[in-house]
Structure 1
Amino acid sequence: MTNPGQGGPWQPQGMPPGQPQYGQPQYGTPPQGYPQGYQQPYHQQPYGHPQQPYYQQQPPPRKSRRGLVIGLVAALVVALGGGATWFALSQTESVASGAATPTEAARNLAGSLGNGDLVGLLGSLAPAEAALFTDPIEDATGELKRLGVVKPDADPKSLSGMRLQAENLAFDEAAQEQVNDHVAITKLTGGTLEVTANLQDVPLAEDFMDAVLSRSERAELEQGPQTRTIDIAEVVRQQGEPVRIATVNVDGEWYPSLLYTIADYALLAERQAWPQQPVPAIGADSPNEAVQQLVLAALDGDLRRVIELLPPDEMAVLHDVGPVLLNAIGAEAGPSGITVTRLETETSELNGGTRATVTALELTNERKRSTFSLVREGTCYRVSVDENSDRLCADELATMLERRSDVSLPPAARQAVRNLGLGVFEQGIGVVTTEVDGEHYVSPLRTFNELGMTVLRSLQPEDIQGLIRLAE
C-alpha cells in the first residue's frame, strides 16, 4: 500500500523564536515577516477591543517568508488548534475522499471552509494526518466534561466557534512544484479568507468561565461574532511570491497537508531542497521491541535509527526530510556505552495505537561498570543503582509532593498536586506505538497526547478550580 501519510511538524535549528507550532495557530498576531507598514486588519488585542493598525504595532524585522504558513495556510486550518473547533473535530466518523490533482485537493480544503464545515475541513486533510487528532479526541472530550471544563451537553457536531470562509481562490497551476512522486507544492495567488470567531459558541462550563474570566473578558465574550478578512493577493504582492500549500498523494488521491506545508516552508527558509531519497521506515517485531530499539538509538545519538522507527504514515514528513536532518547534525554520535539490558512493557489498546507502559527497565553502563534499574511493583516502583535499592509507592510520592509544595498554597491546590502525582504514578508512563504493514513503530505525537491524557485522568473536578486559583 502506498501511503506516505503525514508526520509531525519539523522545525530545524535556527528558526527564530516564536514560530508557531502545529496545532497552535496564533490567530490575532500578524504573520512574521510582513513588511513595515502592512495594514491588514490583524491586531494583538482579544476580540472586542478597538482595531489597531498593524503599522503601529512595531512588527519584528523581516527575517523570512515562513510566516505565511501561519498567516494563511495555518489560518485555513485554524480549526486544528482552536479551542472551540477542537471538539468539532472529534466527531469525524470517516475520511473524505481525496482529489485527482494537487490543485483540486487544495480547493477541496477551501470548499470545506466555505461551507463552514469544520468536520469536513479535517476530512479534507490526508487520512493519517487527520487521524492523529480524531483518534484521541473523543476520550479527551469526555475527560474535560468530567472535570467540568466544558458543558455536559456540549455537542461537538454542532460546534462552530471558529468559522472560515474562502472565496475566489486562484492557483498558478503552471508554477506547481512536483517535489517527488507523492508530494506536490501548489501556489495560491489570489482570493480572500474571512475568519469569524464567536466565543459564545465555545461550550465552556459556566463555573469554569467564572473562574478563568474577568468581568471585562466575559463582556467581550458576549459581544458576538468578530470577523477579519485577509486579501491573499495583497499578501502575495507584499511577499513577492505565491502562498505554498503542500499536497500529498495517498493511494492515488491527493490531499492537502499542513504538516508537509510547514516542512516545505522550513526547508525554504533554510535554503534546503527537498531530498530525493527518504530515510526508509524500518519497524520492529512488537511494541516492546519498538520502544527498546528507540531508547537504545536515542542513547547512542543514532538519529537515522530514530527516524526509521517512526510510523511511515503519520511521520512520513520526517522520513522525507530525514536526510537534511542527518546532514545538519553531521556524523552519528556512536555508541554511548549504555546498553538496554532489559525492557518490559504492559500493553493496552488505544484508539489508533497501543500504549506500552514501561514495567521494567535496566540500563548498563559498560564504561563505568554501573547498572541502573527501574521495576514496577503494583503501584510502586523499585529503583536500583548498582547495590543500592529503594522502593517508592504512589501514595508516598503524593504525600511527598504535597509536603514539599509551597506552604502558602491553598488546600485545594495542594490536593490537586497530590492527585496529579498519585494518578500519574498509578497509571505509569506510556509510549504509544502503531502498527503499519505488520511492523511496529513509535508514534511521538500520539505519545505526547497520551501524556496529556494521563494528566487529565489524574485530576478531579475540584482540582481544576484549585489549579486556576494557583495561577491567579
Structure 2
Amino acid sequence: MTYPPGGQWQPQDPNQPGSGPFPAQPGGYPQQGYGQQGYGQQQGGYPQTGPQGFPQQPQTGPQGFQAPQTPQYGGQYGQQQPQYGGVPGGFGEAPKKKSKGPIIGAIAAVVVVAVGVAATFFVLNRSDAGSGGEDDPTQAATNLVNSLSQGDVLGVLESLTPAESALLVDFNSRTSKRLQELNVYKKDADPNQLHGAEIKAANLKYDEKGAEKVNDHLTITKLVGGTVAFHSDFNELPLTEDFMQAAFPDGVNSKPTDEKIDIADEVRKNGGEPIRIATVKVDDKWYPSLFYTIADYALQDAGKKWPAKSIPDNGAATADEAVKQMVQAAVNSDAERVIELLPPDEMGALHDAGPALLDEMGNPPAAGVQVTKLETESTDAETGGKRVMLKTVEVNADGQTYRVTKDGDCYSAEGEGEKQQLCAEDIATELGGSSMSPAMQQALAHLASGMLKNTGVVATEVDGKWYVSPLRTYSELGLTALSDLTPDDVIALVSNG
C-alpha cells in the first residue's frame, strides 16, 4: 500500500509550495512542485523517510562525464505505505479507489499530505510559528483537524511541532511574496486562508485507550470515527488575470468537486486499522507531527517497532564543516553519521527511527570514491540557516581525478583528459532549441541562472552545532528558481509551455 500520489487527489492551492514555481494545468494540477523536492517521492508517492545520502541537485551541471554516484539511503525502507485514495482528484474527477480500500486517511491526509508532503496547501505567513500545543496527544491531533475544518491555516501551523511549523513558514512566507511580485498571485490573496478547497471534519472519535505511548515524547493517536467532507474549485484560486490569460487562453473547463468520507466505514474496509497520527511532546506541550507520522507508517509497513534507543545528534562546528562531513559520510556509506548530522529538531523522527533504518539497510559498501578537495562558501539562506555553496570539489575514483569548479552561473568540469564548461545561457539554448522566441530564451536563461549561481546545501544551527537540513535545502532550491525571474519571464514560460 502507498501514500497518495502527489498530483492525484489533494485539494489544490497555488499558494502552496507543492504547486511549483507556477500553478500547472487543471486536470493534472499541479503536475510537479518544487516544494516536493524537500520530501523526495518514492514509488507510490510516499515521501522518502531515510536520509538521502548527500542532497542531490538537479543535473544542470556539466554532463560530459559521469562521476561515480554516492549511495542513496532510504530507498528501500518504508516503500509500501497505507493507501489513502479517494479525495477529490485535483479539481476534476475523483480517482478510482485502490483494491485495498479507499480513503481511510482523511485525517492522515491532512497530516501527511495537506500539511507539507506532495501537496502542501497551507500558505504560511507568520513570524512566531509553533506557539500552539495541547496538554494531551488526542487534543493535539483534534486541534489540527479543527483548524483545517475552519480553513484556518494559521491555526493549522500553530498546531504542528515548532520545528515543522517554522520550516514551512520560512519557505512559504517568502514564496507567497515572490509569486505576488511575479504577478502570479493577486495582491490581495490572503496567505492565511485555504483557497480553492474546503475541508470539514465532524464528530471525530479517537481510540484513546489504544493510543501507543512509544516513549516520553512520542505517542501515536488512533482515529477511528467521524466524517470528513471535501470541496474543491479551481476557479476560487487567487491567480491574477494576466497569468490566467497566458496560462489558459481558452479558459478553464473545471467544475467543483465534493465528497464525504465516513472514517469508521473506511477503517472497517481496511481490516479495522485506525488512522495513526503521531504526536510529539515539546516543552510539556503536545503537537501532531508530520515527520513522525511518516516514520511511524514506514515502521508499521516494515513490520518494525519504534527502537528503544535513538541515534544521537552530533553536529559540526560550522555550516561548511557540516556539509563537508555529510559528503564524506555519504561517500563512505556511513548512514549513522549521516543521521547524526541531520537537525535534531526538524528530523527528530529519523534520529528516533534511525536504528531500525540502519538494521533495514544492512552494510552497504562504500562508493569507492575519495573526496580529496572540497572548498565551499556560505551565505544566509532564504529558508533560514546558512546556504553552503560549492567553489571547488575534487574526487578520486578508479585512479581518475575529477574536478568541478563553480564561477557565477557557470560550472567547469575536468576529468579523463577532458574539460567542459556549462553556463546558464547554454542550458537555455539547449532547452529551447533554435526556434525559441527571444522572450522565452531570456526567461529560461534567468531561470537557469538563478538555479546555477545560487544552488547550495542549507545547514542550520541547533544548540551551538550545525546540521545539514535536506528539507530546507530543497525548499531553498525552489526559491532560487524564482530569484532571477521577472513578471514578463513568467508570461513567456507559461504561454510557451
Q: Please tell me the TM-score bracket, short chain as reference.
A: 0.7 to 0.9
2:343 corresponds to 1:311? yes
In 1, distance between residues paired with 2:215 and 2:352?
10
2:450 corresponds to 1:423? yes
Name which of 460, 463, 466 aligns with 1:434: 460
- For 1:372, the aligned partner's letter is Y
Cα distance, 1:431–1:126 mapped onto 2, change above 3 Å: same
How big is each residue's C-alpha offset from its partner over 1:281-317, in whole Å with a ceiling of 9 and x where there is no partner? 1111100100101111111221111111110110111
**1:65-464 correspondence runs (5 A):** 68-69=104-105, 71-75=106-110, 79-81=114-116, 86=121, 88-91=123-126, 93-158=128-193, 160-213=195-248, 215=250, 217-218=252-253, 220=255, 226-239=257-270, 240-334=272-366, 336-365=368-397, 368=399, 370-377=400-407, 380-385=410-415, 392=421, 394=423, 397-399=424-426, 401-402=428-429, 405-425=432-452, 427-464=453-490
Distance apart, 1:45 and its partner CA: 7.5
In 1, distance between residues paired with 2:40 and 2:216?
20
Residues 88 and 258 of structure 2 are in contact (CA less than 8 Å); yes or no, is this contact kept in structure 1? no
In 1, distance between residues paired with 2:406 and 2:360?
39
Distance apart, 1:361 and its partner CA: 2.2
In 2, distance between residues paired with 1:462 and 1:424?
18
Distance apart, 1:264 and its partner CA: 1.3
SS state at 2:312 partner: coil
Cα distance, 1:265–1:342 mapped onto 2, change above 3 Å: closer
Distance apart, 1:174 and its partner CA: 0.9
Aligned partner of 2:27 in structure 1 is none
How big is each residue's C-alpha offset from its partner over 1:22-73, in whole Å with a ceiling of 9 and x where there is no partner? 9xxxxxxxx9757xxxxx97554834x6xx7x8xx4x4433x99x744x431
> Percent of aligned pairs with the same residue?
40
- For 2:263, the aligned partner's letter is I
In 2, distance between residues paired with 1:452 and 1:335?
29
- Greater shift, 247-256 or 460-469, is seen at 460-469
Residues 151 and 193 of structure 2 are in contact (CA less than 8 Å); yes or no, is this contact kept in structure 1? no
Aligned partner of 2:70 in structure 1 is none
Distance apart, 1:384 and its partner CA: 4.0
- Greater shift, 168-177 or 437-446, is seen at 168-177
Cα distance, 1:464–1:76 mapped onto 2, change above 3 Å: same
2:99 corresponds to 1:61? yes
Aligned partner of 2:71 in structure 1 is none
- Greater shift, 98-107 or 341-350, is seen at 341-350
Residues 338 and 364 of structure 1 are in contact (CA less than 8 Å); yes or no, is this contact kept in structure 2? yes
Question: Taking structure 1 as the reference length, what is the TM-score of the superposition?
Answer: 0.80
Cα distance, 1:74–1:167 mapped onto 2, change above 3 Å: same
How big is each residue's C-alpha offset from its partner over 1:201-238, in whole Å with a ceiling of 9 and x where there is no partner? 42111122223336562563xx6xx5422211111222
Distance apart, 1:435 and its partner CA: 0.5
Distance apart, 1:444 and its partner CA: 0.3
Residue-pair matches, total: 427
- For 2:240, the aligned partner's letter is A
- For 2:295, the aligned partner's letter is A
Cα distance, 1:45–1:79 mapped onto 2, change above 3 Å: closer
Distance apart, 1:385 and its partner CA: 3.9
Residues 85 and 161 of structure 1 are in contact (CA less than 8 Å); yes or no, is this contact kept in structure 2? no
Residues 245 and 251 of structure 2 are in contact (CA less than 8 Å); yes or no, is this contact kept in structure 1? no
SS state at 2:387 partner: strand
- For 1:421, the aligned partner's letter is A
Distance apart, 1:349 and its partner CA: 4.5
Cα distance, 1:19–1:373 mapped onto 2, change above 3 Å: closer
- Greater shift, 277-286 or 76-85, is seen at 76-85
SS state at 1:234 partner: helix
From the two aligned structures, give the one with the greater helix fraction. Answer: 1
Cα distance, 1:10–1:245 mapped onto 2, change above 3 Å: farther
Cα distance, 1:335–1:399 mapped onto 2, change above 3 Å: closer
Cα distance, 1:112–1:46 mapped onto 2, change above 3 Å: closer
In 2, distance between residues paired with 1:189 and 1:455?
42
Instruction: Structure 2: give runs of 5+ residues left out of the alignment.
Output: 1-37, 49-80
- For 1:353, the aligned partner's letter is G
SS state at 1:295 partner: helix
Cα distance, 1:393–1:32 mapped onto 2, change above 3 Å: closer
SS state at 1:328 partner: helix
In 1, distance between residues paired with 2:205 and 2:193?
30
In 1, distance between residues paired with 2:387 and 2:90?
41
SS state at 2:124 partner: helix
Question: Taking structure 2 as the reference length, what is the TM-score of the superposition?
Answer: 0.76
Residues 357 and 428 of structure 1 are in contact (CA less than 8 Å); yes or no, is this contact kept in structure 2? yes
Cα distance, 1:61–1:198 mapped onto 2, change above 3 Å: closer
In 2, distance between residues paired with 1:97 and 1:393?
48
Distance apart, 1:182 and its partner CA: 1.4
Cα distance, 1:45–1:434 mapped onto 2, change above 3 Å: closer
In 1, distance between residues paired with 2:430 and 2:450?
17
- Greater shift, 268-277 or 342-351, is seen at 342-351
Cα distance, 1:172–1:211 mapped onto 2, change above 3 Å: same
SS state at 1:18 partner: helix
